[in-house]
Structure 1
Amino acid sequence: MAKLPPRIKVFRAQIGFGDWVVATSSKKLALEAWDVSRDLFATGEAEQTDDPKAITVAMTNIGKAVAMPRPKRRK
Structure 2
Amino acid sequence: MAAAVHTVAVSTDPIVPAYVTTEGAAAYTALAVSTLETMRNRGDGPRYIKVGRAIRYRIADLDRFMAAQPTGGGM
Assess same fold via TM > 0.5.
no
Q: TM-score, normalised by structure 1?
A: 0.28
Q: TM-score, normalised by structure 2?
A: 0.28
Larger radius of gyration: 2
